[in-house]
């Protein structure tokens, strides 16, 4: 990796300003219901603290307060959880810039300080230069460990990096390493599994990865637009009518490149989508009035057979409506299958795919699970992410 990482900088007696992704889910009483994202930044935080820094100033956003102060999006609960996880005091400030913040930092006896939600200021998402400069003035060195927001050019991810020596934290470094390597130097055979609701979300990924991979296996809501483009009957299944031409041209492109696009050959269908709907399995053509909600057993076997020789697998998007147990079998079986493969690099694109792998308790069986949904998607599209591009070169 040509970008500086936290290990390339002498941190002793310095004040480190670190962008983390503490955008965690909370219940109605503001209790954090899943602290995975907080735990994911601990290795970087621990490393920085052990390096003898003067202090560590953490910053993040939470939710979408749209540039206004919204009490339920305060980072105070995150400070409490951090305190427990780190086993040391954490000072939570009431804002992220201004005289009071500087005063609070100067007088703090705590080594770890958490600024209030960056998005309480409209300047954060606008990547306002003065706001970025204000943030930068709080530290000597900037560390970015928030992959989940690396695809956004915001003041705290891209702007700050122009004013301070900037390095990647371990989490960001791992994402760049795994996602970047998987795409640029994959061990062959290289297979891609794509699912999720919409073709439109995955066009860039297909176009970028088709020339590089051996096969793309498509399930989820997006596969019905492809099947319809092949002239198959899809009943009432999800269809993006305006993407039919595009689906056809992608299928033709694959043929031209002699690459395989594998589509489902059977389906789990229902009359209407509800948790207790009566399911049945049908072949390639979906009857009138039926809605496909998952791939069928024949497709599961077909996909597994194709995946068994893979050395690199990148998966982005579930293969059915996995949130409902009755429609989760395709996603679960394929996840279990690739989790059991030997000598294969398995990379799970964040968001719903990561949630599915977590639901089936297979996280520790995958090589890498991305922490950012949108960011990993753009990375797989081959785009340069502003939050990574802005970091200092080694």
pLDDT at 374 > cutoff 70: yes
Same domain, 120 and 268: no
Record the pTM: 0.87
Identify the weakest region by mean pLDDT among 90-99, 300-309, 347-356, 360-369: 347-356
| Residue from 163, 135, 144 nearest 3 by CA | 144
SS3 (DSSP) at 69: coil
Choosing from 144, 170, 196, the residue where a domain stops is: 170
Same domain, 303 and 232: yes
Same domain, 184 and 258: yes
| Residue from 247, 245, 254, 255 nearest 221 by CA | 247
Beta strands in the chain (DSSP E): 15-19, 55-59, 90-92, 112-114, 141-144, 165-168, 190-194, 215-218, 260-262, 267-270, 280-282, 291-295, 312-316, 345-348, 368-369
Model pLDDT for residues 230-268, shown as the tens digit of each residue: 999 999 999 999 999 999 999 999 999 999 999 999 999
Residues 6+ apart with CB under 8 A from 298: 265, 266
Same domain, 193 and 113: no
Averaged confidence pLDDT in the chain: 94
Same domain, 141 and 44: yes
CA atoms within 13 Å, Cβ hemisphere of 256 = 9
Model pLDDT for residues 78-92, shown as the tens digit of each residue: 999 999 999 999 999
**Total domains, the chain:** 2
Q: CATH number of the domain that 269 lies in?
A: 3.40.50.1260
Model pLDDT for residues 179-198, shown as the tens digit of each residue: 887 788 899 999 999 999 88
Beta-ladder partners of 15 = 55
Same domain, 62 and 79: yes
Catalytic residues: 37, 198, 351, 374
Choosing from 153, 170, 187, the residue where a domain stops is: 170
187 Rama class: left (phi>0) / alpha (psi -120 to 50) / beta: beta
In a domain, 394, yes or no: no
- Per-residue three-class SS string for 181-246: HHHHCCCCCEEEEECCCCCCCCHHHHHHHCCCCCEEEECCCCHHHHHHHCCCCECCCCCCHHHHHH
Beta-ladder partners of 141 = 16, 165
Residues 6+ apart with CB under 8 A from 272: 291
Same domain, 165 and 187: no
Structural domain boundaries, residue 332: 178-380
């Amino acid at each position: 990796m040509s970008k500086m990482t936290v290990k390339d900088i002498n941190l002793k007696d310095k004040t480190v300003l670190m962008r983390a992704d503490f955008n965690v889910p909370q219940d109605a009483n503001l209790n954090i219901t899943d602290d995975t994202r907080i735990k994911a930044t601990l290795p970087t935080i621990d490393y920085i603290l052990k390096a003898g820094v003067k202090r560590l100033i953490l910053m993040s956003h939470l939710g979408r307060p749209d540039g206004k102060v919204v009490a339920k999006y305060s980072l105070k609960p995150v400070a409490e959880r951090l305190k427990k996880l780190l086993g040391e005091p954490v000072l939570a400030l009431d804002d992220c810039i201004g005289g009071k913040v500087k005063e609070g930092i100067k007088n703090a006896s705590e080594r770890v300080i958490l600024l209030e939600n960056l998005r309480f200021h409209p300047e954060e998402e606008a990547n306002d230069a003065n706001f970025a400069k204000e943030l930068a003035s709080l530290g000597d060195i900037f560390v970015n460990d928030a992959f989940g927001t690396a695809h956004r050019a915001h003041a705290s991810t891209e702007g700050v990096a122009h004013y301070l020596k900037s390095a990647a934290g371990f989490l960001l470094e791992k994402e760049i390493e795994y996602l970047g390597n998987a795409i640029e130097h994959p061990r062959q055979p290289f297979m891609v599994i794509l699912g999720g609701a919409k073709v439109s979300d995955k066009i860039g990924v297909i176009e970028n990865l088709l020339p590089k991979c051996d096969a793309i296996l498509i399930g989820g809501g997006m596969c019905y637009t492809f099947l319809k483009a092949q002239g198959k009957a899809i009943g009432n299944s999800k269809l993006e009518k305006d993407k039919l031409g595009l689906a056809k041209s992608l299928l033709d492109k694959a043929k031209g490149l002699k690459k395989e696009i594998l589509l489902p050959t059977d389906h789990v269908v229902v009359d209407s989508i509800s948790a207790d709907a009566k399911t049945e399995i049908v072949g390639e053509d979906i009857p009138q009035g039926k809605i496909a909600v998952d791939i069928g057993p024949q497709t599961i076997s077909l996909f597994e057979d194709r995946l068994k020789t893979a050395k690199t697998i990148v998966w982005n998007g579930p293969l059915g409506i996995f949130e409902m147990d009755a429609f989760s079998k395709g996603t679960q079986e394929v996840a279990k299958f690739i989790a059991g493969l030997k000598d294969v690099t398995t990379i799970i694109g964040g968001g719903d795919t990561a949630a599915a792998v977590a639901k089936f308790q297979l996280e520790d069986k995958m090589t890498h699970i991305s922490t950012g949904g949108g960011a990993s998607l753009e990375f797989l599209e081959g785009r340069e992410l502003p939050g990574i591009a802005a970091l200092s070169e080694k």
